[in-house]
Chains A and B, each alone.
Chain A
C-alpha cells in the first residue's frame, strides 16, 4: 500500500515535472537587438538569449556566401547576401530552446549550420533532467521494494 502510494507520488511528480508551467518572468518585455555574423558553417554569436515576450531584432550579416537564418518552431526566416545585412524581427512569445538553421544551401556542411535561441530558461533541458533523476529514483525504489526479505521464525 505504502509502496503503491509512493509510486503514485513519483508518477505525479513526473507529470508535474513535464507539464507544469514555470513561473511567469517578472521583467517587462523589451526589444533585444543582435548582430549575427554568418559564415560557413556557423553563426557568431552561436547562441543568443532573450526573455519571453521580448521583441527580437536580428541583423544577419553574411561574411562569405549567401546564408539564411530560420528559427525552429517560430517558422520565421531571413536571407543575407555576402557583405549585406538583413534584418529579422519577431516577438519571442514561445519559451524554450530553439535552433537557428541556415535555410539557404551554403556548402557541404550546410545541413549542420546551427545556432541556438534561448527564450527564458531551457525548459526541455530542465524538465528532462528532472524527469531523468525522478526515473532513477523510482527504479531504485521499486527494486528495493521488490527485494525478497528474510524473516526469522
Chain B
C-alpha cells in the first residue's frame, strides 16, 4: 500500500522543515545528554545521559522504531546532522556539485558491514560500563558525533552511518522485517532517467546520502529513509509503502558480513540476558571491571560465543544433514536469514524487562536531569518502582515464542534457497529460544 499516494503525506515528507525541526530537537537532546554525562551526577540512574539514552531512547528504538519503522530512527538521528551540514556547507540546500571537502569514496574493502560488526562488538564488550556510567556514555556519544563529522569531511555522503555506526548495522539488519519500505514505482522510469538525480543529486536535493541507487533498491538494509530521493526524483517515481512484516527476507542476503551481524546480535542478547538479568554477581563484576583479568575472561567468552560458538554450531547443524553437506559461505549466509526475526524478538524480550523495570527513572530524570537537586516538574523524588511487573513474563514469553514461529516460517522459505533442509535451522532456533526463555523467565 503506497502511503505517499496521499498528497498530504507526500507534501509532509517532501518538505524539509518537519525533518529539520526533528533534527534540531534531537540534536539538542543529544548534546544535552553529552553535557549531562560530563557535568551531571555520576549516579547513572539519576543522570539524563543514562536514563534518556539507555532507557527511553533504547525502549523507543527496539520496541517501536525498528520493528515498525525499520530505519525510521536513522531518518531523524542527530549524529550525522552536523557532519551533513558541514559537508554540504548548508543546512537546507543540497550538496554542491563539487565537494567542499575531500569527498573521497570509501575504499571498496570497507564498503560492507564488517566495520559495523566490529564497532558494535567493541561497544558491546564495554557495555556494562557504558550503560551505567554517565561520563563513559558521554564519551561514546561524543566520539560518535565527532567521528561522523570527521568522516563527512573526508568521505562523500554518510560514511559513518553506512559503514561505521554500531547502531546502524543492526537497525539495517532488522529493518528488513519492518512493515514499511521506500521503493521505486516503475523500474523502466529509472532505467530511462537521465542523470539519475536520486543518486547524483540535483537542485532539488542531495544525491543519496546512503550511497544507494533507489532504482536498484530491493531491501531496507541500507536505505536510511532520509527521503532525499523522494525530493529529487523528477518523475515522481519514489514511494513509501506499507507492506507485510519481513517482506525483504523472502529474498535472503548472501553476504557473510550481514550473516555475522545476525549472529553477533543473537549472541549479545543471550549474553546480556545472562549477565545483566541473571543472578550471578561474578559475571556482572567481570563485565563491569574492564581490563581486569576477569574482564578479559568475560571478553574472551563473549567473542567466542558470538564469533565462533553460535556460527560454528549453526554451520555444524546445517552441514550434518545429507542436503547440507558441502555447504558454502553463500549458502551459510542465506541459511542464517531466520536468525534476523529471531534476534529481533530476543532483543524485544530482553528490553521489555530492562526498560519496564527502570522506566520510573525517566520521570525523575526529567525533573532533575543532572542530579543536582532540581525538581522542574515535581517528579524528582518519585520512588523507583518497576512498571507492569506481572505483564513482563507473559510478554517476554509471547515475544520469544512469536520470534521462534517467525524464524521457523522464514526458515521454511529461505532454507530451500540455500539448498538445505529447514529442519536443522528450525532445531537450532528452537534450542537457542529455549535457552533465552530459561535465561529470561
Contacts and interface: CB of A to CB of B under 8 A. Distances in A.
A44 B281 contact: yes
Contact of B426 (A70, A103, A136): A136
Interface in A74-126: 75, 96-97, 99, 101, 103, 105, 108-116, 122, 124-125
Contacts of A109: 128, 132, 284-285, 288
Interface residues of B, number: 46
A54 interface: no
Q: With a 10 A CB-CB cut-off, give which of B409, B422, B437 has the most chain A CB atoms.
A: B437
B412 interface: yes
Interface string B44-57: 11100000000000
A96 B434 contact: no
Contacts of B393: 96-97, 124
A59 interface: no
Central interface residue in B280, B281, B284, B285, by most chain A CB within 10 Å: B281
A124 B397 contact: yes
A30 interface: no
B285 A73 contact: no
Contact of A135 (B396, B401, B423): B401
Nearest to B433: A132
Contacts of A70: 386
B277 to A, nearest CB: 6
Interface string B130-152: 00110000000000000000000
Interface in B397-441: 397, 400-401, 404-405, 408-409, 412, 422-423, 426, 430, 433-434, 437-438, 441
B132 A108 contact: yes
Most buried by A among B45, B397, B401: B401
A124 B279 contact: no
A114 B278 contact: yes
Given A42-B280, A115-B279, A132 B132 contact: no
A127 B397 contact: yes
B288 A132 contact: no
Contacts of A116: 279
Given A105-B45, A139-B412, A128 B430 contact: no
B284 A136 contact: no
Interface centre among A43, A73, A133, A139 (most CB of B within 10 A): A139
A45 to B, nearest CB: 8
A50 interface: no
Contacts of A105: 43, 45-46
Contacts of B426: 136, 139-140
A41 B46 CA distance: 18
B contact patch SS: helix
A128 B397 contact: yes
Contacts of B401: 128, 131-132, 135
A101 B357 contact: yes
Contacts of B437: 125, 128-129, 132
Interface in A37-61: 39-44, 46-47
A2 interface: no
Interface in B29-65: 43-46
A56 to B, nearest CB: 17
Given A128-B441, A139-B405, A139-B409, A111 B279 contact: no
- Give the one of A44, A47, A72, A113 with max B CB within 10 A: A72
Given A72-B389, A108-B132, A122 B441 contact: yes
A122 B397 CA distance: 13
A82 to B, nearest CB: 17
A133 B285 CA distance: 35
Given A125-B437, A135-B408, A103 B384 contact: yes
Given A132-B401, A139-B405, A72 B386 contact: yes
B134 to A, nearest CB: 10
Given A72-B389, A97-B393, A42 B434 contact: no
Given A72-B386, A101-B357, A112-B284, 15 more contacts: A42-B281, A44-B281, A46-B280, A96-B393, A108-B132, A109-B128, A111-B132, A112-B275, A112-B276, A114-B278, A124-B396, A136-B408, A136-B426, A139-B405, A139-B408
Interface of B: 43-46, 128-129, 132-133, 275-282, 284-285, 288, 354, 357-358, 384, 386, 389-390, 393-394, 396-397, 400-401, 404-405, 408-409, 412, 422-423, 426, 430, 433-434, 437-438, 441
26 contacts: A40-B285, A41-B288, A42-B281, A46-B278, A46-B280, A72-B389, A99-B277, A101-B386, A108-B129, A108-B132, A109-B128, A111-B132, A111-B357, A114-B279, A124-B394, A124-B397, A124-B441, A125-B437, A125-B441, A128-B400, A128-B437, A132-B430, A135-B408, A139-B405, A139-B408, A139-B409
8 cross-chain pairs, A with B, having the tightest CB-CB distances, nearest first: A42-B281, A46-B279, A128-B397, A108-B132, A124-B393, A124-B441, A139-B408, A72-B389
Interface of A: 39-44, 46-47, 70, 72-73, 75, 96-97, 99, 101, 103, 105, 108-116, 122, 124-125, 127-129, 131-133, 135-136, 139-140, 143
